[in-house]
Amino acid sequence: MSDKDENLTKVGINWFPGHMAKTKREIKEQLNLIDIVYEVVDARMPISSRVVDLDELISNKPKVLVVTKYDLCDKGETDKILEKMREMHYNVVTLDLMGGSVSELIQATKKIMEPINLDREKKGLKRRPARVLIVGAPNVGKSTLINRLVGKKSVGVGNTPGFTKSLSWIRIHPDIELLDTPGILYPKLENQEVARTLAALSSIKEEILNLDEIACFILKKLFELYPEKLNEKYGIIELDDDFVEAYETIGKKRGALSKGGIVDYEKVSRIIIQDLKNNSFGNITFDRIK
């Protein structure tokens, strides 16, 4: 594991498929039609999952920060971040992954749209639905959000980053028309802490990742932020730099063994990653205010 991790530290995680570059070009082309932007982020990483150049991309369009998967986060830590964002005059709406009302988001949209429609009425034009652009990193819950707004399954929902491939207009509500976009990441993930957080929480395809590196990152973050959860789940109370003892403990506990009873490290890495994906550690938030 140490050789692989050293190699990946040099290379780093980088994922910017062609459709993401195309998406940014198409957003610029459609921008004159847009009234409001929904920036969707994952409540477990509300800083890391933001699109860093979004404000530059959308110019001065009104924006709502939609924080999804709020039911999966450590609310105490996530709320500290969201409060800071509200102090910076961000319009923040939190939503659970499943269930709960989307009325707050609809009301926020109507409030932003009201001056636009009043101006239209003064010009003798009819009121019209808000034209909303929805943007976010891969797998932060955009498709699930759209289906919640529609009230039925309107778009495909996948647990794989890059599920949505192109821009498409969707009439999601009598007062809202939505332009859905594929997930967007940075052209280059220079901050590897952010990159590993995105990878750990499923915003980067596993196919391009070194699973050992991501699994070790998860263990390290849990030991740093939630040692009690790591102990409860795996019986780990100490974590060495080489992670070998932790892998041995998890492998034996979960039966990830090869012939002769040797721990299969690759299986252990997959177990750790899948446990996080399944929310097996309970509510967590990997981001912190600096």
Strand-by-strand arrangement of the 168-173 sheet: 91-94, 63-68, 36-42, 130-136, 176-180, 168-173
Mean pLDDT of all residues in the chain? 84
Domain 17-180 in CATH 3.40.50.300? The answer is yes
Token pair of 54 as six digits: 């979004």
Asked if 160 and 208 touch (Cβ cutoff 8 Å), the reply is no
Q: At what angle do helices 244-254 and 265-277 cross, to 10 degrees?
A: 80
Asked whether the predicted pLDDT for residue 127 surpasses 80, the reply is yes
Distances in Å between the alpha carbon of 37 and those of 16, 95, 283? 22, 16, 28
User: What does the pLDDT look like over 262-279, one tens digit per residue?
Assistant: 999 999 999 999 999 999
Asked if 77 and 48 touch (Cβ cutoff 8 Å), the reply is no
**HSE-CB of 30 using CA atoms within 13 angstroms:** 22
CATH number of 2-9+189-277: 1.10.1580.10
**Sequence ranges of the domains in the chain:** 2-9+189-277, 17-180
Asked whether the predicted pLDDT for residue 159 surpasses 60, the reply is no
Q: Do domains 2-9+189-277 and 17-180 have the same CATH topology?
A: no
Token pair of 80 as six digits: 């500290």
Neighbours of 35 (CB within 10 A): 19
- How, if at all, do strands 130-136 and 91-94 pair? unpaired
User: What does the pLDDT look like over 213-247, one tens digit per residue?
Assistant: 999 999 999 999 999 999 999 999 999 999 999 99
- How, if at all, do strands 168-173 and 176-180 pair? antiparallel
Q: What is the pTM of this model?
A: 0.85
User: What does the pLDDT look like over 278-287, one tens digit per residue?
Assistant: 999 999 999 9
Asked if 130 and 35 touch (Cβ cutoff 8 Å), the reply is yes
